[in-house]
Amino acid sequence: MSTAHLRTRLAQMDASIAEHKLSLEALERDRTTVATELYSTATFPILTLPVEITTAIFTLCLPTIEELHEYNRRWRADPETPLTLTAPTILVECCRAWRDIALATPSLWTTLPLGLKDTDFGDTTASRATSELGRADEYIDRWLGRAGFQPLTFVFCLVQDLDDDGSGERTPGNCIRGAIRRYADRLQQLDLDTTEACFDIQIWDFNSIHFPLLQRVVLRNTDPDQNTPDACELFGNAPRLSEVGLQPGCWLSYYIFPWTQLTNYEGDIEDMSLFRLAPNLVEMKCPVWEITYGYIQTVAHTHLQSLTLSGSNSTVSWVLMQLALPALLSLRISKPVAPVPLATCLERSAPPLRTLSLSLYPSRCYGLDPWKPSLASVAATLENLELHSPSEQFLSGISGILHLTVPEDPFSLPCLKTLSIFNSPAVNYRELVAFLHQRSTSTKFARLQSLRLVHCPGVLPTDEEFDMLCFDAGRRRWRLNATDHNNMRRLASEGMDIHIGFEKTTPVSFDKRVTFDAQPEEQ
Protein backbone atom coordinates (compact mmCIF):
# COMPACT_ATOMS: atom_id res chain seq x y z
CA MET A 1 0.00 0.00 0.00
CA SER A 2 1.41 3.37 -1.01
CA THR A 3 2.32 6.20 1.32
CA ALA A 4 -0.30 8.49 -0.24
CA HIS A 5 -3.02 5.96 0.36
CA LEU A 6 -2.06 5.52 4.03
CA ARG A 7 -2.10 9.28 4.54
CA THR A 8 -5.56 9.44 3.02
CA ARG A 9 -6.80 6.67 5.40
CA LEU A 10 -5.32 8.43 8.42
CA ALA A 11 -7.02 11.72 7.47
CA GLN A 12 -10.36 9.91 7.12
CA MET A 13 -9.95 8.31 10.56
CA ASP A 14 -9.07 11.67 12.16
CA ALA A 15 -12.18 13.18 10.62
CA SER A 16 -14.31 10.31 11.92
CA ILE A 17 -12.85 10.70 15.43
CA ALA A 18 -13.59 14.42 15.44
CA GLU A 19 -17.14 13.75 14.27
CA HIS A 20 -17.70 11.21 17.06
CA LYS A 21 -16.25 13.58 19.64
CA LEU A 22 -18.72 16.23 18.55
CA SER A 23 -21.53 13.68 18.80
CA LEU A 24 -20.35 12.61 22.29
CA GLU A 25 -20.18 16.21 23.46
CA ALA A 26 -23.70 16.79 22.16
CA LEU A 27 -24.98 13.70 23.95
CA GLU A 28 -23.31 14.79 27.19
CA ARG A 29 -24.92 18.22 26.94
CA ASP A 30 -28.29 16.63 26.26
CA ARG A 31 -27.83 14.25 29.21
CA THR A 32 -26.99 17.12 31.54
CA THR A 33 -30.10 18.97 30.40
CA VAL A 34 -32.36 15.94 30.89
CA ALA A 35 -30.82 15.14 34.29
CA THR A 36 -31.35 18.72 35.45
CA GLU A 37 -34.95 18.61 34.31
CA LEU A 38 -35.44 15.23 35.99
CA TYR A 39 -34.11 16.34 39.37
CA SER A 40 -36.15 19.51 39.19
CA THR A 41 -39.41 17.68 38.53
CA ALA A 42 -38.95 14.19 40.02
CA THR A 43 -40.44 13.27 43.41
CA PHE A 44 -38.92 10.84 45.91
CA PRO A 45 -41.75 9.25 47.92
CA ILE A 46 -39.69 8.96 51.10
CA LEU A 47 -38.97 12.68 50.98
CA THR A 48 -42.64 13.54 50.51
CA LEU A 49 -43.63 12.01 53.86
CA PRO A 50 -44.92 14.46 56.44
CA VAL A 51 -42.17 15.54 58.82
CA GLU A 52 -44.09 14.03 61.73
CA ILE A 53 -44.02 10.56 60.14
CA THR A 54 -40.34 10.81 59.24
CA THR A 55 -39.59 11.89 62.81
CA ALA A 56 -41.51 8.90 64.19
CA ILE A 57 -39.55 6.56 61.90
CA PHE A 58 -36.27 8.12 63.03
CA THR A 59 -37.24 7.58 66.65
CA LEU A 60 -37.84 3.88 66.01
CA CYS A 61 -34.32 3.63 64.57
CA LEU A 62 -32.65 4.62 67.83
CA PRO A 63 -30.58 1.86 69.46
CA THR A 64 -31.78 0.41 72.74
CA ILE A 65 -29.82 0.66 75.96
CA GLU A 66 -28.92 -3.02 75.58
CA GLU A 67 -27.50 -2.38 72.11
CA LEU A 68 -25.46 0.51 73.45
CA HIS A 69 -24.07 -1.81 76.13
CA GLU A 70 -22.98 -4.19 73.39
CA TYR A 71 -21.27 -1.35 71.52
CA ASN A 72 -19.52 -0.36 74.74
CA ARG A 73 -18.39 -3.93 75.36
CA ARG A 74 -16.93 -4.25 71.87
CA TRP A 75 -15.25 -0.88 72.03
CA ARG A 76 -13.78 -1.54 75.48
CA ALA A 77 -12.31 -4.81 74.23
CA ASP A 78 -10.64 -2.98 71.34
CA PRO A 79 -11.04 0.82 71.23
CA GLU A 80 -9.45 0.92 67.78
CA THR A 81 -12.18 -1.22 66.24
CA PRO A 82 -14.49 0.88 64.05
CA LEU A 83 -18.13 0.55 65.00
CA THR A 84 -21.15 0.61 62.75
CA LEU A 85 -22.91 3.96 62.65
CA THR A 86 -26.35 4.04 64.24
CA ALA A 87 -29.11 6.57 64.69
CA PRO A 88 -29.13 9.47 65.13
CA THR A 89 -25.60 9.95 63.74
CA ILE A 90 -26.20 7.96 60.58
CA LEU A 91 -29.37 9.92 59.82
CA VAL A 92 -27.59 13.25 59.49
CA GLU A 93 -25.18 11.79 56.94
CA CYS A 94 -27.79 10.52 54.49
CA CYS A 95 -29.02 13.69 52.82
CA ARG A 96 -29.68 17.33 53.56
CA ALA A 97 -33.41 16.83 54.13
CA TRP A 98 -32.88 14.06 56.67
CA ARG A 99 -30.10 16.02 58.32
CA ASP A 100 -32.38 19.02 58.80
CA ILE A 101 -35.15 16.84 60.26
CA ALA A 102 -32.80 14.93 62.57
CA LEU A 103 -31.09 18.06 63.89
CA ALA A 104 -34.49 19.65 64.52
CA THR A 105 -35.83 16.66 66.50
CA PRO A 106 -34.76 16.97 70.16
CA SER A 107 -35.93 13.47 71.15
CA LEU A 108 -33.26 11.90 68.92
CA TRP A 109 -30.47 13.46 70.97
CA THR A 110 -31.61 12.83 74.54
CA THR A 111 -29.45 9.70 74.90
CA LEU A 112 -25.71 10.33 74.91
CA PRO A 113 -23.49 7.24 74.48
CA LEU A 114 -19.81 7.87 75.15
CA GLY A 115 -16.67 5.80 75.41
CA LEU A 116 -13.51 7.39 76.84
CA LYS A 117 -10.04 5.92 77.23
CA ASP A 118 -7.00 7.72 78.64
CA THR A 119 -6.40 10.67 76.30
CA ASP A 120 -8.63 9.34 73.55
CA PHE A 121 -12.18 10.41 73.04
CA GLY A 122 -14.73 8.42 71.10
CA ASP A 123 -18.44 8.11 70.60
CA THR A 124 -19.58 4.51 70.74
CA THR A 125 -22.18 5.03 68.02
CA ALA A 126 -20.50 7.67 65.86
CA SER A 127 -17.36 7.77 63.79
CA ARG A 128 -15.09 8.93 66.65
CA ALA A 129 -13.74 11.72 64.46
CA THR A 130 -13.11 13.68 67.64
CA SER A 131 -9.88 12.22 68.96
CA GLU A 132 -8.61 14.72 71.50
CA LEU A 133 -9.93 14.74 75.06
CA GLY A 134 -9.80 18.53 75.08
CA ARG A 135 -12.61 18.58 72.50
CA ALA A 136 -14.84 16.19 74.43
CA ASP A 137 -16.72 18.89 76.34
CA GLU A 138 -17.46 20.71 73.09
CA TYR A 139 -18.75 17.49 71.53
CA ILE A 140 -20.95 16.67 74.53
CA ASP A 141 -22.44 20.16 74.68
CA ARG A 142 -23.11 20.18 70.93
CA TRP A 143 -24.87 16.81 71.09
CA LEU A 144 -26.99 17.67 74.12
CA GLY A 145 -27.71 21.14 72.80
CA ARG A 146 -29.80 19.49 70.11
CA ALA A 147 -31.92 17.81 72.82
CA GLY A 148 -33.46 21.10 73.89
CA PHE A 149 -34.72 20.92 77.45
CA GLN A 150 -35.84 17.28 77.44
CA PRO A 151 -34.73 14.80 80.15
CA LEU A 152 -31.44 13.08 79.33
CA THR A 153 -29.97 9.58 79.43
CA PHE A 154 -26.22 9.03 79.75
CA VAL A 155 -24.64 5.70 78.75
CA PHE A 156 -20.96 6.11 79.57
CA CYS A 157 -18.08 3.66 79.22
CA LEU A 158 -14.87 4.70 80.95
CA VAL A 159 -11.65 2.84 80.19
CA GLN A 160 -8.68 4.08 82.18
CA ASP A 161 -5.67 2.58 83.89
CA LEU A 162 -5.19 5.01 86.78
CA ASP A 163 -7.37 6.42 89.53
CA ASP A 164 -9.07 9.73 89.01
CA ASP A 165 -7.63 11.50 92.03
CA GLY A 166 -9.99 14.46 91.97
CA SER A 167 -7.18 16.83 91.01
CA GLY A 168 -9.18 18.39 88.19
CA GLU A 169 -6.69 17.34 85.53
CA ARG A 170 -7.94 16.52 82.06
CA THR A 171 -8.67 12.83 82.47
CA PRO A 172 -11.50 10.73 81.04
CA GLY A 173 -13.00 10.44 84.50
CA ASN A 174 -13.04 14.20 85.01
CA CYS A 175 -14.55 14.68 81.56
CA ILE A 176 -17.46 12.35 82.33
CA ARG A 177 -17.88 13.68 85.85
CA GLY A 178 -17.98 17.23 84.50
CA ALA A 179 -20.71 16.28 82.00
CA ILE A 180 -22.80 14.70 84.76
CA ARG A 181 -22.42 17.79 86.93
CA ARG A 182 -23.25 20.22 84.12
CA TYR A 183 -26.41 18.38 83.15
CA ALA A 184 -27.46 17.01 86.55
CA ASP A 185 -30.65 19.08 86.53
CA ARG A 186 -31.86 17.30 83.37
CA LEU A 187 -30.42 13.81 83.87
CA GLN A 188 -33.12 11.13 84.09
CA GLN A 189 -31.09 7.91 83.58
CA LEU A 190 -27.42 7.21 84.20
CA ASP A 191 -25.59 4.07 83.09
CA LEU A 192 -21.92 4.11 84.08
CA ASP A 193 -19.57 1.32 83.00
CA THR A 194 -15.89 1.36 83.90
CA THR A 195 -12.95 -0.99 83.79
CA GLU A 196 -12.38 -3.24 86.76
CA ALA A 197 -8.95 -1.71 87.40
CA CYS A 198 -8.57 0.92 90.08
CA PHE A 199 -11.79 2.93 89.82
CA ASP A 200 -13.13 4.55 92.98
CA ILE A 201 -16.57 6.09 92.58
CA GLN A 202 -16.31 7.80 95.97
CA ILE A 203 -14.07 10.47 94.41
CA TRP A 204 -16.92 11.55 92.15
CA ASP A 205 -19.03 12.57 95.19
CA PHE A 206 -22.42 11.94 93.59
CA ASN A 207 -24.04 12.43 97.00
CA SER A 208 -23.39 16.18 96.87
CA ILE A 209 -24.98 16.72 93.45
CA HIS A 210 -28.67 17.59 93.17
CA PHE A 211 -30.47 15.36 90.64
CA PRO A 212 -34.08 16.61 90.53
CA LEU A 213 -35.16 14.31 87.66
CA LEU A 214 -32.96 11.24 88.11
CA GLN A 215 -35.05 8.05 88.17
CA ARG A 216 -32.74 5.17 87.20
CA VAL A 217 -29.08 4.41 87.87
CA VAL A 218 -27.05 1.43 86.64
CA LEU A 219 -23.46 0.97 87.82
CA ARG A 220 -20.99 -1.50 86.34
CA ASN A 221 -17.50 -2.19 87.73
CA THR A 222 -17.60 0.92 89.93
CA ASP A 223 -16.81 -0.43 93.39
CA PRO A 224 -15.20 2.02 95.80
CA ASP A 225 -11.87 1.29 97.44
CA GLN A 226 -12.30 -2.00 99.31
CA ASN A 227 -9.80 -0.81 101.91
CA THR A 228 -12.11 2.05 102.88
CA PRO A 229 -14.08 1.02 105.98
CA ASP A 230 -17.15 3.11 105.14
CA ALA A 231 -19.59 2.39 102.35
CA CYS A 232 -20.04 4.96 99.59
CA GLU A 233 -23.12 7.18 99.87
CA LEU A 234 -24.70 7.89 96.49
CA PHE A 235 -27.55 10.01 95.13
CA GLY A 236 -28.85 11.24 98.45
CA ASN A 237 -30.10 14.36 96.61
CA ALA A 238 -32.10 12.50 93.97
CA PRO A 239 -35.70 12.67 95.26
CA ARG A 240 -37.15 10.76 92.29
CA LEU A 241 -34.62 7.93 92.19
CA SER A 242 -36.58 4.66 92.17
CA GLU A 243 -34.55 2.14 90.14
CA VAL A 244 -31.02 0.94 90.87
CA GLY A 245 -28.99 -1.70 89.03
CA LEU A 246 -25.64 -3.08 90.17
CA GLN A 247 -24.19 -5.21 87.41
CA PRO A 248 -21.26 -7.67 87.63
CA GLY A 249 -18.29 -6.03 89.28
CA CYS A 250 -20.39 -4.14 91.86
CA TRP A 251 -21.13 -5.31 95.40
CA LEU A 252 -24.20 -4.10 97.24
CA SER A 253 -22.39 -3.75 100.57
CA TYR A 254 -20.14 -1.02 99.12
CA TYR A 255 -23.01 1.41 98.55
CA ILE A 256 -25.59 3.40 100.47
CA PHE A 257 -28.53 4.50 98.34
CA PRO A 258 -31.72 6.26 99.47
CA TRP A 259 -33.19 2.81 100.07
CA THR A 260 -36.69 3.83 101.14
CA GLN A 261 -37.28 5.51 97.75
CA LEU A 262 -36.43 2.48 95.65
CA THR A 263 -39.11 0.46 93.90
CA ASN A 264 -36.86 -1.57 91.53
CA TYR A 265 -33.52 -3.23 92.19
CA GLU A 266 -31.40 -5.45 89.94
CA GLY A 267 -28.12 -6.87 91.14
CA ASP A 268 -26.39 -9.35 93.40
CA ILE A 269 -27.22 -9.59 97.09
CA GLU A 270 -24.86 -10.85 99.78
CA ASP A 271 -27.36 -11.30 102.59
CA MET A 272 -31.00 -10.52 103.43
CA SER A 273 -30.37 -6.91 104.46
CA LEU A 274 -31.81 -5.37 101.29
CA PHE A 275 -35.27 -6.76 102.10
CA ARG A 276 -35.14 -4.73 105.32
CA LEU A 277 -33.40 -1.62 103.97
CA ALA A 278 -35.75 -1.13 101.01
CA PRO A 279 -39.30 -1.76 102.26
CA ASN A 280 -40.96 -0.19 99.22
CA LEU A 281 -39.38 -2.41 96.54
CA VAL A 282 -41.88 -3.69 94.01
CA GLU A 283 -39.53 -5.61 91.69
CA MET A 284 -36.21 -7.38 92.32
CA LYS A 285 -33.91 -9.30 89.97
CA CYS A 286 -31.14 -10.92 91.98
CA PRO A 287 -28.35 -13.29 90.99
CA VAL A 288 -27.34 -14.94 94.28
CA TRP A 289 -23.92 -16.56 94.08
CA GLU A 290 -21.97 -15.60 97.19
CA ILE A 291 -24.06 -15.07 100.29
CA THR A 292 -23.35 -14.77 103.99
CA TYR A 293 -25.15 -17.66 105.65
CA GLY A 294 -26.61 -17.35 109.11
CA TYR A 295 -29.55 -18.52 111.16
CA ILE A 296 -32.68 -18.89 109.09
CA GLN A 297 -35.29 -16.38 110.22
CA THR A 298 -38.37 -15.01 108.53
CA VAL A 299 -37.92 -11.77 106.61
CA ALA A 300 -41.24 -10.26 105.55
CA HIS A 301 -41.55 -7.79 102.68
CA THR A 302 -45.11 -6.58 102.18
CA HIS A 303 -44.74 -4.64 98.91
CA LEU A 304 -42.63 -6.88 96.66
CA GLN A 305 -44.66 -8.03 93.65
CA SER A 306 -42.03 -9.45 91.28
CA LEU A 307 -38.96 -11.50 92.25
CA THR A 308 -36.44 -13.11 89.89
CA LEU A 309 -33.73 -15.29 91.44
CA SER A 310 -30.74 -16.94 89.82
CA GLY A 311 -27.51 -18.43 91.08
CA SER A 312 -26.60 -21.67 92.77
CA ASN A 313 -29.24 -24.00 94.14
CA SER A 314 -27.96 -23.70 97.71
CA THR A 315 -27.96 -19.89 97.80
CA VAL A 316 -31.36 -19.52 96.13
CA SER A 317 -32.84 -22.14 98.44
CA TRP A 318 -31.42 -20.37 101.50
CA VAL A 319 -33.01 -17.08 100.41
CA LEU A 320 -36.40 -18.70 99.78
CA MET A 321 -36.40 -20.40 103.17
CA GLN A 322 -36.42 -17.00 104.88
CA LEU A 323 -38.81 -14.95 102.77
CA ALA A 324 -42.44 -14.08 103.39
CA LEU A 325 -43.88 -12.17 100.43
CA PRO A 326 -47.65 -11.74 100.83
CA ALA A 327 -47.99 -9.34 97.83
CA LEU A 328 -45.97 -11.44 95.35
CA LEU A 329 -47.49 -11.66 91.86
CA SER A 330 -44.55 -13.02 89.84
CA LEU A 331 -41.81 -15.46 90.85
CA ARG A 332 -39.11 -16.56 88.40
CA ILE A 333 -36.30 -18.93 89.35
CA SER A 334 -33.91 -19.40 86.45
CA LYS A 335 -31.82 -22.23 87.97
CA PRO A 336 -33.02 -25.57 89.35
CA VAL A 337 -34.24 -25.20 92.91
CA ALA A 338 -35.23 -27.79 95.51
CA PRO A 339 -38.99 -28.15 96.07
CA VAL A 340 -38.96 -27.80 99.88
CA PRO A 341 -37.61 -24.20 100.09
CA LEU A 342 -40.05 -23.10 97.39
CA ALA A 343 -42.98 -24.70 99.17
CA THR A 344 -41.89 -23.14 102.48
CA CYS A 345 -41.81 -19.68 100.95
CA LEU A 346 -45.14 -19.97 99.14
CA GLU A 347 -46.99 -21.60 102.04
CA ARG A 348 -45.73 -18.95 104.45
CA SER A 349 -46.51 -16.09 102.08
CA ALA A 350 -49.85 -17.27 100.66
CA PRO A 351 -49.42 -14.74 97.82
CA PRO A 352 -51.89 -14.00 95.00
CA LEU A 353 -49.27 -15.36 92.58
CA ARG A 354 -50.11 -15.01 88.89
CA THR A 355 -46.82 -15.97 87.20
CA LEU A 356 -44.55 -18.85 88.18
CA SER A 357 -41.42 -19.85 86.23
CA LEU A 358 -39.44 -22.86 87.46
CA SER A 359 -36.34 -24.73 86.37
CA LEU A 360 -36.61 -28.36 87.41
CA TYR A 361 -34.28 -31.30 87.98
CA PRO A 362 -35.08 -33.80 85.20
CA SER A 363 -32.51 -36.24 86.60
CA ARG A 364 -33.22 -35.84 90.33
CA CYS A 365 -36.87 -35.01 90.97
CA TYR A 366 -38.66 -37.57 88.92
CA GLY A 367 -42.27 -36.92 89.70
CA LEU A 368 -44.74 -34.21 90.56
CA ASP A 369 -45.32 -35.15 94.22
CA PRO A 370 -42.47 -33.03 95.70
CA TRP A 371 -43.87 -29.98 93.93
CA LYS A 372 -47.52 -30.40 94.86
CA PRO A 373 -47.34 -28.26 98.03
CA SER A 374 -45.92 -25.38 96.02
CA LEU A 375 -48.59 -25.62 93.32
CA ALA A 376 -51.38 -26.05 95.86
CA SER A 377 -50.36 -22.76 97.52
CA VAL A 378 -50.87 -20.72 94.35
CA ALA A 379 -53.21 -22.84 92.21
CA ALA A 380 -56.25 -20.66 92.82
CA THR A 381 -54.64 -17.53 91.34
CA LEU A 382 -51.95 -18.81 88.95
CA GLU A 383 -52.41 -17.51 85.39
CA ASN A 384 -49.01 -18.10 83.77
CA LEU A 385 -46.96 -21.27 84.30
CA GLU A 386 -43.51 -21.71 82.76
CA LEU A 387 -41.53 -24.92 83.21
CA HIS A 388 -37.93 -25.55 82.15
CA SER A 389 -36.49 -29.07 81.74
CA PRO A 390 -39.30 -31.12 83.29
CA SER A 391 -38.95 -34.89 83.38
CA GLU A 392 -41.40 -37.21 81.65
CA GLN A 393 -42.71 -38.25 85.06
CA PHE A 394 -43.31 -34.63 86.03
CA LEU A 395 -45.12 -33.91 82.76
CA SER A 396 -47.28 -36.97 83.25
CA GLY A 397 -48.26 -35.71 86.68
CA ILE A 398 -48.91 -32.14 85.57
CA SER A 399 -50.98 -33.49 82.69
CA GLY A 400 -53.22 -35.21 85.20
CA ILE A 401 -53.62 -31.96 87.11
CA LEU A 402 -54.45 -29.93 84.04
CA HIS A 403 -57.11 -32.43 82.98
CA LEU A 404 -59.03 -32.16 86.24
CA THR A 405 -62.58 -31.06 85.52
CA VAL A 406 -63.44 -29.72 88.98
CA PRO A 407 -62.29 -26.12 89.43
CA GLU A 408 -62.56 -26.43 93.22
CA ASP A 409 -59.76 -29.01 93.26
CA PRO A 410 -56.60 -27.31 94.64
CA PHE A 411 -54.54 -28.59 91.71
CA SER A 412 -56.83 -27.75 88.81
CA LEU A 413 -55.26 -24.31 88.04
CA PRO A 414 -58.63 -22.81 87.08
CA CYS A 415 -57.19 -19.39 86.15
CA LEU A 416 -54.41 -20.68 83.87
CA LYS A 417 -54.08 -18.57 80.71
CA THR A 418 -50.58 -19.32 79.39
CA LEU A 419 -48.57 -22.54 79.59
CA SER A 420 -44.93 -22.70 78.43
CA ILE A 421 -42.74 -25.82 78.60
CA PHE A 422 -39.11 -25.50 77.50
CA ASN A 423 -36.64 -28.33 76.96
CA SER A 424 -39.59 -30.70 77.06
CA PRO A 425 -39.43 -34.47 76.66
CA ALA A 426 -41.91 -36.29 74.44
CA VAL A 427 -45.59 -35.62 75.05
CA ASN A 428 -48.81 -37.34 74.10
CA TYR A 429 -50.25 -35.04 71.45
CA ARG A 430 -53.64 -36.71 71.65
CA GLU A 431 -53.90 -35.71 75.32
CA LEU A 432 -52.55 -32.27 74.50
CA VAL A 433 -55.33 -31.64 71.97
CA ALA A 434 -57.90 -32.86 74.48
CA PHE A 435 -56.54 -30.48 77.12
CA LEU A 436 -56.59 -27.51 74.74
CA HIS A 437 -60.13 -28.34 73.67
CA GLN A 438 -61.22 -28.63 77.29
CA ARG A 439 -59.68 -25.32 78.31
CA SER A 440 -61.17 -23.54 75.31
CA THR A 441 -64.76 -24.73 75.76
CA SER A 442 -65.26 -25.12 79.51
CA THR A 443 -67.21 -22.43 81.32
CA LYS A 444 -65.63 -23.46 84.63
CA PHE A 445 -62.08 -22.48 83.74
CA ALA A 446 -60.36 -19.42 82.30
CA ARG A 447 -59.72 -19.73 78.59
CA LEU A 448 -56.16 -20.78 77.76
CA GLN A 449 -54.67 -18.08 75.56
CA SER A 450 -51.18 -19.39 74.77
CA LEU A 451 -49.30 -22.70 74.57
CA ARG A 452 -45.54 -22.84 73.93
CA LEU A 453 -43.98 -26.28 73.77
CA VAL A 454 -40.24 -26.45 73.02
CA HIS A 455 -38.84 -29.99 72.82
CA CYS A 456 -35.44 -31.29 73.76
CA PRO A 457 -33.09 -31.94 70.85
CA GLY A 458 -33.79 -35.34 69.35
CA VAL A 459 -37.39 -35.67 70.54
CA LEU A 460 -38.62 -35.03 67.01
CA PRO A 461 -36.42 -37.39 64.98
CA THR A 462 -36.98 -36.20 61.43
CA ASP A 463 -38.33 -33.24 59.53
CA GLU A 464 -41.04 -35.40 58.02
CA GLU A 465 -42.26 -36.50 61.43
CA PHE A 466 -42.03 -32.94 62.70
CA ASP A 467 -44.18 -31.67 59.84
CA MET A 468 -46.69 -34.41 60.54
CA LEU A 469 -46.74 -33.33 64.20
CA CYS A 470 -45.73 -36.74 65.45
CA PHE A 471 -42.96 -38.16 67.62
CA ASP A 472 -41.37 -41.47 68.50
CA ALA A 473 -41.15 -42.27 72.21
CA GLY A 474 -40.39 -45.85 73.07
CA ARG A 475 -41.47 -46.87 69.56
CA ARG A 476 -44.96 -45.50 70.16
CA ARG A 477 -45.89 -43.09 67.41
CA TRP A 478 -48.47 -40.41 68.07
CA ARG A 479 -50.14 -38.67 65.18
CA LEU A 480 -53.04 -36.29 64.84
CA ASN A 481 -56.03 -37.65 63.03
CA ALA A 482 -58.13 -35.37 60.88
CA THR A 483 -60.48 -34.45 63.75
CA ASP A 484 -57.69 -33.54 66.18
CA HIS A 485 -55.87 -31.63 63.49
CA ASN A 486 -58.96 -29.61 62.63
CA ASN A 487 -59.57 -28.89 66.33
CA MET A 488 -56.01 -27.59 66.71
CA ARG A 489 -56.37 -25.44 63.62
CA ARG A 490 -59.71 -24.13 64.85
CA LEU A 491 -58.22 -23.17 68.21
CA ALA A 492 -55.44 -21.28 66.46
CA SER A 493 -57.92 -19.51 64.19
CA GLU A 494 -59.96 -18.47 67.23
CA GLY A 495 -57.00 -16.64 68.71
CA MET A 496 -55.10 -19.20 70.78
CA ASP A 497 -51.36 -18.71 70.34
CA ILE A 498 -50.00 -22.24 69.72
CA HIS A 499 -46.26 -22.70 69.20
CA ILE A 500 -44.57 -26.10 68.98
CA GLY A 501 -40.88 -26.33 68.18
CA PHE A 502 -37.63 -27.76 69.40
CA GLU A 503 -34.61 -26.35 71.15
CA LYS A 504 -31.54 -26.00 69.00
CA THR A 505 -29.22 -23.73 70.91
CA THR A 506 -28.97 -22.00 74.26
CA PRO A 507 -30.69 -19.66 74.83
CA VAL A 508 -33.75 -21.19 73.24
CA SER A 509 -34.17 -20.49 69.57
CA PHE A 510 -36.67 -21.98 67.21
CA ASP A 511 -35.47 -23.69 64.07
CA LYS A 512 -38.99 -24.50 62.95
CA ARG A 513 -42.53 -23.63 63.81
CA VAL A 514 -45.39 -25.98 63.36
CA THR A 515 -48.28 -24.48 61.46
CA PHE A 516 -51.62 -26.16 61.42
CA ASP A 517 -52.38 -25.58 57.77
CA ALA A 518 -50.69 -28.77 56.60
CA GLN A 519 -52.85 -31.74 55.78
CA PRO A 520 -53.28 -34.22 58.64
CA GLU A 521 -52.21 -37.81 58.28
CA GLU A 522 -54.77 -40.03 56.62
CA GLN A 523 -56.06 -42.66 59.03
Which tens digits make up the pLDDT trace of 126-150? 333 334 455 778 888 889 999 989 9
3-state helix, strand, coil in the chain (%, to 5): 40, 20, 45
Predicted confidence at residue 226, as pLDDT, reads: 56
Question: Which stretch of DSSP H or E encloses residue 457?
Answer: none
Alpha-carbon distance of 208 to 204, in angstroms, equals 9
Instruction: Decide if pLDDT at 202 tops 90.
Output: no
Q: Looking at residues 283-309, what average pLDDT do you find?
A: 86
Q: Helices 172-182 & 136-145, crossing angle to 10 degrees? A: 30
Q: Looking at residues 329-349, what average pLDDT do you find?
A: 91
Hey, is 272 helix, strand or coil?
coil
Q: Looking at residues 445-468, what average pLDDT do you find?
A: 65
Predicted confidence at residue 502, as pLDDT, reads: 64
Work out the mean pLDDT of the chain and round it to a whole number.
78
Predicted confidence at residue 365, as pLDDT, reads: 53
Predicted confidence at residue 124, as pLDDT, reads: 43
Predicted confidence at residue 382, as pLDDT, reads: 93
| pTM of the model as a whole | 0.77
Cα 417 to chain centroid, rounded: 24
Tell me which of 108-117, 132-141, 214-223, 408-417 is least confident.
132-141
Question: Which stretch of DSSP H or E encloses residue 280?
Answer: none
| Nearest one of 303, 302, 264, 301 to 286, comparing CA atoms | 264
Tell me which of 63-77, 406-420, 506-520 is least confident.
506-520
Sign of the dihedral defined by the CA atoms of residues 143, 238, 299, 288, in that order: positive
Predicted confidence at residue 262, as pLDDT, reads: 95
Instruction: Decide if pLDDT at 49 tops 50.
Output: yes
CB-CB contact of 108 with 62 (8 Å): yes
CB-CB contact of 249 with 267 (8 Å): no
DSSP 244: E
231 contact partners, CB below 8 Å, separation of at least 6: 224, 253, 254, 255, 256
Best mean pLDDT range from 129-133, 186-190, 297-301, 501-505: 186-190
Predicted confidence at residue 444, as pLDDT, reads: 83
* % residues pLDDT > 70 (the chain): 75
Predicted confidence at residue 393, as pLDDT, reads: 79
Alpha-carbon distance of 56 to 105, in angstroms, equals 10
Predicted confidence at residue 225, as pLDDT, reads: 56
Instruction: Decide if pLDDT at 314 tops 80.
Output: yes
Indicate the residue type of 157.
C
List the chain domain ranges.
Answer: 17-262
Predicted confidence at residue 228, as pLDDT, reads: 57
Alpha-carbon distance of 248 to 122, in angstroms, equals 24
Indicate the residue type of 412.
S
Instruction: Decide if pLDDT at 465 tops 60.
Output: no
366 contact partners, CB below 8 Å, separation of at least 6: 391, 393, 394
- Better-scored residue on pLDDT, 433 or 53: 53
Predicted confidence at residue 522, as pLDDT, reads: 38
Q: Looking at residues 431-436, what average pLDDT do you find?
A: 80
